[in-house]
């Protein structure tokens, strides 16, 4: 690569099949436009087009994506050595714990790790060694929404991607295929390539692929075993296609080849944002209809069933709830909003922003319904919140609706008792402190209690609020719950999982999302 400073910024010539001249943007939040000029000269040095036979994989980031994804690759590809690395020593220690007390809860994950760990799957904080040895590196680090600076509140914070990329450049002693597994704004692959080429040792080559992950927490292992599709984006150069083939060969060990989609790198990056935006849009659509149901006496389950039977619509992701959460939907839509605004497409930005606005409305609407129903005040009342994770079968609490509900209840000066079967107590305190930055933790602890069981959470409460759809909440001894509660005893089902007729029979007053009283 040749670098020079021009009148309008810094310019670089990269070794591509076709030489390209691009302006390099130092701001990762900014959208980097198309190549400005093509120079039709052959790349130098001439590279072999044969796909690299991947024998060693390194995954940077041992989180909810890197851990399960690469554990499954190790399970399915015993001939490949997979090393998952992270800066976080405690997280790596947990992955290595003798009793398999893994840092994340995911059904089926322990079984995968039991088979592969120590065989061809390793967890380590020795990042340099793992990078140096690998033929292929997944970058699977976090990309949260920026909290300050340009694009704050919308753009993805690419700090972690950039430092992982710089780390690869600094320590690599041989050519690598670098795979963008994190969800990133469009054209991040280009920035990664710029950094790698500008900072690596001479003579090394880096092929960047986009391979976004579509797993859903709670079903990650099933999703990874039998994905709807694996998406691999590459430059459409001989080198790019060759790298794409190398990664395809890894997945082909267990994924049918007709499910491995190979596309251009920018299409791949956009497809991940688009998929999450469309999934979240369906939830916000059904949640918007749930508000109409509650006001009219229609039943959102019946409406969703009727609508979903149309094969053009389909039945999935039409379940009304207190709102979506998780680390991805909101962040990725806001990212799409930011991208649209950067491209001077304000109507497109407003369209996607509304999906998030509706989600906020749904959470607020639900907590207001609790207050309104409890005779317009919950001050000094005891509210039991069942569930703190953002969905069932995970311990992940990022953007969990439960956090917003509890924050609302605390601001009404209620006492809240929380129970969740998987979330660590320390995580609950951490999340509540973050949600209420102006309230000292000691004060929060005076208003919030964390219980060990659903039954003990409900004891002496005026209302039970179901915030997460854990199956065990359906199977609670609701008669025993009723006996421990103050009367009238209210249940607010934010996940439509309880049998409202059975609960009414016991004596509860029951409010279910998307269900109004018949007019």
Ligand X SMILES: NC(=O)c1ccc[n+]([C@@H]2O[C@H](COP(=O)([O-])OP(=O)(O)OC[C@H]3O[C@@H](n4cnc5c(N)ncnc54)[C@H](O)[C@@H]3O)[C@@H](O)[C@H]2O)c1
β-bridge pairing 136-139 and 56-60: parallel
Q: Which is nearer to ligand X, 65 or 291 (CB)?
A: 65
State the residue for tokens 């690998």: 134
Burial of 180: CB neighbours in 10 Å, binned 0-12, 13-18, 19+: buried
Q: Shortest gap between Cβ of 132 and ligand X (angstroms)?
A: 15
Helix (H) or strand (E) holding 131: helix 127-133
Pull the structure tokens for residue 332: 């990725």
59 is in an annotated binding site: no
Question: Is 217 annotated for ligand binding?
Answer: yes
Is 182 annotated for ligand binding? Answer: yes
Shortest distance in whole angstroms from residue 61 CB to ligand X: 3
We find the least distance from the C-beta atom of residue 402 to ligand X, in angstroms, to be 17
Q: Contact 83/122 with Cβ under 8 angstroms?
A: yes
Is there a binding annotation on residue 142? yes
Burial track 357-394 (b if 16+ CB lie within 10 A, e otherwise): ebbebbbebbbeebbeebeeebeebbbbbbbbbbbbbb
Burial bucket for residue 21 (CB in 10 Å: 0-12, 13-18, 19+): middle
CA–CA separation, 240 vs 209, rounded Å? 8
- 183 or 290: whose CB is closer to ligand X? 183
Task: Specify the residue, 86 or 431, whose C-beta has the smaller distance to ligand X.
Answer: 86
* 86 belongs to an annotated ligand binding site: yes
Q: What does R_g of the chain's alpha carbons equal in angstroms?
A: 25
* DSSP for residue 369: H
CA atoms of 132 and 251, how far apart (whole Å): 22
Residue closest to ligand X (Cβ): 63
- HSE (side-chain half, CA atoms, 13 Å) at 111: 8
Q: Is 53 annotated as a binding residue?
A: no
| Cβ proximity of 366 and 513 under 8 Å | yes
Residues found near ligand X in the complex (CB under 6 A):
60-66, 85-88, 91, 127, 140-143, 160, 163-164, 167, 182-183, 213, 215, 217, 327-328
| CB nearer ligand X, residue 280 or residue 378 | 280
331 labelled as ligand-binding?
yes
One DSSP character per residue, 341-364 reads: HHTT-HHHHHHHHHHHHHHHHHHH
For the CB of residue 441, give the shortest distance to ligand X in the complex, in Å.
23
141 is in an annotated binding site: yes
Taking the complex as a whole, the smallest distance from the CB of residue 141 to ligand X amounts, in Å, to: 4
Query: Closer CB to ligand X, residue 334 or residue 503?
Result: 334
Residues 140, 87: Cα–Cα separation, whole Å: 12
Residue placing its CB nearer to ligand X in the complex, 163 or 354: 163
Residues forming the active site: 328
Q: How far is the CB of 116 from ligand X (least distance, A)?
A: 18
CB of residue 328 to ligand X, shortest distance in Å: 5
Q: Would you say 186 or 293 has its CB closer to ligand X? A: 186
Hey, what are 458's tokens? 């409900």
Unique residue bearing structure tokens 């970058």: 139
* Exposed e or buried b per residue across 344-353, where buried means at least 16 C-beta atoms within 10 angstroms of its C-beta: eeeeebeebb
Residues flagged as binding site for NAD(+): 61-66, 86, 91, 141-145, 182-183, 217, 328-331, 398
Residues flagged as binding site: 61-66, 86, 91, 141-145, 182-183, 217, 328-331, 398
């Amino acid at each position: 690569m040749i670098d020079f400073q021009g009148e309008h910024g810094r310019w670089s010539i990269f070794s591509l099949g076709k030489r390209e001249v691009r302006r390099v943007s130092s701001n990762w939040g900014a959208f980097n436009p198309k190549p400005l000029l093509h120079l039709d000269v052959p790349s130098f040095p001439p590279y072999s087009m044969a796909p690299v036979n991947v024998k060693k994989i390194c995954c940077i980031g041992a989180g909810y994506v890197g851990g399960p994804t690469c554990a499954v690759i190790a399970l399915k590809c015993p001939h490949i050595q997979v090393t998952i690395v992270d800066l976080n020593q405690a997280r790596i220690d947990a992955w290595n714990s003798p009793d398999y007390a893994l840092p994340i809860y995911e059904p089926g994950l322990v079984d995968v790790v039991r088979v592969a760990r120590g065989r061809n799957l390793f967890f380590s904080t020795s990042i340099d060694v793992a990078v140096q040895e690998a033929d292929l590196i997944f970058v699977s680090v976090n990309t949260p929404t920026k909290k300050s600076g340009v694009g704050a509140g919308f753009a993805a914070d690419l700090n972690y991607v950039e430092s992982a990329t710089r780390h690869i450049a600094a320590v690599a002693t041989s050519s690598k295929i670098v795979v963008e597994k994190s969800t990133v704004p469009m054209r991040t692959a280009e920035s990664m390539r710029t950094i790698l080429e500008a900072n690596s040792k001479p003579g090394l080559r880096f092929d960047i692929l986009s391979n976004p992950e579509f797993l859903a927490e709670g079903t990650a292992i099933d999703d990874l075993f039998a994905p709807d599709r694996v998406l691999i984006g590459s430059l459409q150069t001989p080198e790019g296609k060759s790298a794409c083939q190398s990664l395809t060969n890894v997945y082909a060990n267990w994924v049918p080849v007709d499910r491995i989609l190979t596309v251009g790198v920018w299409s791949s990056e956009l497809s991940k944002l688009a998929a999450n935006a469309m999934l979240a849009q369906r939830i916000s659509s059904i949640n918007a209809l749930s508000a109409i149901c509650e006001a009219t006496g229609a039943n959102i389950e019946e409406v969703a069933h009727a609508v979903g039977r149309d094969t053009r619509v389909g039945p999935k992701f039409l379940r009304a709830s207190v709102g979506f959460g998780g680390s991805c939907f909101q962040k990725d839509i806001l990212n799409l909003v930011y991208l649209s605004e950067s491209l001077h497409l304000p109507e497109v930005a407003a369209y996607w922003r509304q999906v998030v606005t509706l989600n906020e409305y749904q959470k607020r609407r639900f907590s207001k319904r609790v207050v309104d129903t409890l005779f317009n005040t919950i001050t000094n009342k005891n509210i039991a919140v069942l569930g703190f994770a953002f969905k069932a079968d995970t311990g992940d609490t990022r953007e969990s609706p439960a956090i917003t509900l509890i924050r609302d209840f605390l601001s009404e000066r209620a006492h809240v008792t929380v129970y969740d079967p998987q979330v660590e107590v320390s995580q609950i305190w951490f999340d509540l402190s973050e949600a209420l930055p102006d309230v000292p933790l000691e004060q929060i602890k005076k208003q919030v209690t964390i219980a060990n069981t659903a039954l003990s959470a409900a004891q002496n409460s005026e209302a039970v609020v179901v915030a997460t759809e854990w199956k065990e909440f359906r199977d609670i001894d609701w008669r025993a719950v009723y006996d421990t509660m103050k009367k009238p005893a209210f249940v607010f089902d934010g996940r439509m999982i309880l049998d409202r007729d059975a609960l009414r029979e016991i004596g509860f007053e029951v409010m279910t999302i998307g269900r109004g009283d018949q007019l």
